[in-house]
Structure 1
Amino acid sequence: MKKLLLIASVAMMGVVANAQETRFGVKAGYSLSTLKYESDLGSESSDPSHTFYVGGMVEHKFGDKFGIQGELLYSPLGGKTVIKEEDEDNPGNYFNLKSKTTLGTLLIPVSAKYFISESFSVSAGASFGVILSAKNKTVFDGGLNIPGVEIGVDAETDIKDQTNTLNIAPFIGAEYMLENGLFFDARYNLGVSNLVKNPEFNETSKNSFFQVGVGFKFGGN
């Protein structure tokens, strides 16, 4: 009886060991990032900012269907606003405004994964963003229909002191991996943290972003 229990225990340990799989990897891709502003005066969303992400990841698989994944990524997120106005009756009266907010962010996404097949999986989790830098660049030029008179501004402002450090964004995503470890993934992150540090009129600014990219996993069975 003891021998049977010992054999069964060894067999079970072997099954568990074989069922668990850990892979490390690298990934990079494209991010489409927006900022949504709200206050007592109303709400609006920025135009999307086209940017990138790059970093590493680790995946641990439990059996054939479930796994967890952690990542460490860097991405300059944010959003931009573009306004162009011209007086149709007086073409010399115009103004153009471009304002871009860039949030240099260290992302720590943590997710649970479900493997529909060996190659295809879906995931859900949250991305914990640590904002390392925050800057706003404003470019403005205008005319008053007065010969020789134009107005122009080109300035960059550090807004880190006015920006909260933590940006939490729950996400859902999907991944497809080839047999050689090359994978493709896509993810939508919904910003829920208010990035305005000291709001005076109930202002909120939330950062959401879509990611699509490619990576490579090492290790595993």
Structure 2
Amino acid sequence: MKKILFLAAAAVMGISVNAQEFRFGPKVGFAMSTLKIDEKQDDLGKRNMDPKYTFYVGGMAEYKINDNFGFQAEVLYSPLGAKEKIDGVDAGVIYVGEQTKVTLGTLLVPLSAKYFITEGFSVAAGANFGIILTAKQKTVIGSDFISVDVEDENGSGEIDIKKDIKKLNIAPFVGVEYMLENGLFFDARYSLGVSNLSNDGSGGKVTNSFAQIGVGFKFGGN
């Protein structure tokens, strides 16, 4: 009986210790997203669109194997994409230009391995698996006097380009994180887009890279 009680107590203590290594919580932040385009036509077809400044929101879960190593998984939503301004031409008495904004509503699932330099400071490396839920493009042609939205067949100012965009965006990333004793943490990371998102059949390539700076709170732990 004493042995059974001892084993039961040891098991409970083991569970308790393991539970202290698990943390979870919400996180939100700011993102800067860009699109790199290679239309496979000429040098003019290769370009980086201007950054789109946006947000992300979601949650995370972290498990520490020991004092130095751990794993983290997250589920985030972010309307990524980019924007572009094309200088126009002097059409007689007016100067006509074009502005385009692409928005990719993306569900992000980042998975990473973490190394804890100190208890509160860590570095991470992993991959973002992005599922593109929506893809919209808004184009405005304008001059000094008037601007006109390019509309689709339904008269909408935003054109649905989801059929031209692949659903999966894989982006390896590196990042850093600093956590206070109360569980509040701050992190930053950069994700490099490697997946070709172009699905229009032209043979071109479109990749989405983005940087993130955020804040969150971890429950659990010691």
Q: Same fold (TM over 0.5)?
A: yes
1:69-98 alpha-carbon deviations (Å, 9 max, x no partner): 0000000000000123354xx872311211
Query: Which whole-Å CA distance do the structure 2 matches of 1:129 and 1:206 have between them?
Result: 12
Aligned residues: 209
Q: Determine the structure 1 residue equivalent to 2:124.
A: 123
Using a 3 Å threshold, how does the CA distance of structure 1 residues 55 and 151 change in structure 2: closer, same or farther?
closer
Q: 2:87 aligns with which of 84, 88, 103?
A: 84
2:138–2:149: 8 Å Cα contact kept in structure 1?
Answer: no
1:142–1:152: 8 Å Cα contact kept in structure 2?
Answer: no
- State whether structure 2 residue 179 is matched by structure 1 residue 177: yes
Matches within 5 A, 1:5-16: none
1:101–1:136: 8 Å Cα contact kept in structure 2?
Answer: yes
Note the C-alpha offset of 1:151.
7.1
Q: Determine the structure 2 residue equivalent to 1:152.
A: 148
**SS of equivalent residue, structure 2 residue 208:** strand
Query: Which whole-Å CA distance do the structure 2 matches of 1:17 and 1:151 have between them?
Result: 64
1:76–1:103: 8 Å Cα contact kept in structure 2?
Answer: yes
Q: Determine the structure 2 residue equivalent to 1:37.
A: 37
Q: Determine the structure 2 residue equivalent to 1:22.
A: 22
Matches within 5 A, 1:91-102: 92-102=93-103
Query: Which whole-Å CA distance do the structure 2 matches of 1:18 and 1:55 have between them?
Result: 27
**SS of equivalent residue, structure 1 residue 55:** strand
Matches within 5 A, 1:126-205: 126-142=127-143, 152-155=148-151, 156-200=158-202, 202-205=203-206
Q: Determine the structure 2 residue equivalent to 1:61.
A: 64
**SS of equivalent residue, structure 1 residue 18:** helix
User: Percent identity among equivalent residues?
Assistant: 55
Give the TM-score normalised by structure 2: 0.85
Note the C-alpha offset of 1:39.
2.6
2:88–2:96: 8 Å Cα contact kept in structure 1?
Answer: yes
Give the TM-score normalised by structure 1: 0.85
Note the C-alpha offset of 1:11.
6.9
Structure 1: state its 5+ residue gaps.
Answer: 144-148
Q: 1:48 aligns with which of 46, 51, 54?
A: 51
Q: Determine the structure 2 residue equivalent to 1:109.
A: 110
Q: Cα RMSD (Å) of the superposition?
A: 2.6
Farther off after superposition, 206-215 or 11-20: 11-20
Note the C-alpha offset of 1:30.
0.3
Query: Which whole-Å CA distance do the structure 1 matches of 2:137 and 2:23 have between them?
Result: 39
Note the C-alpha offset of 1:161.
1.0
1:181-210 alpha-carbon deviations (Å, 9 max, x no partner): 00000000000111111332x201000000
1:191–1:208: 8 Å Cα contact kept in structure 2?
Answer: yes
Q: Residue type matched to 1:105 in 2?
A: T
1:121-175 alpha-carbon deviations (Å, 9 max, x no partner): 00000000000000000011248xxxxx967334321001111000000000000
Farther off after superposition, 106-115 or 13-22: 13-22
Q: Determine the structure 2 residue equivalent to 1:146.
A: none
Greater C-alpha radius of gyration: 1
Query: Which whole-Å CA distance do the structure 2 matches of 1:25 and 1:191 have between them?
Result: 26
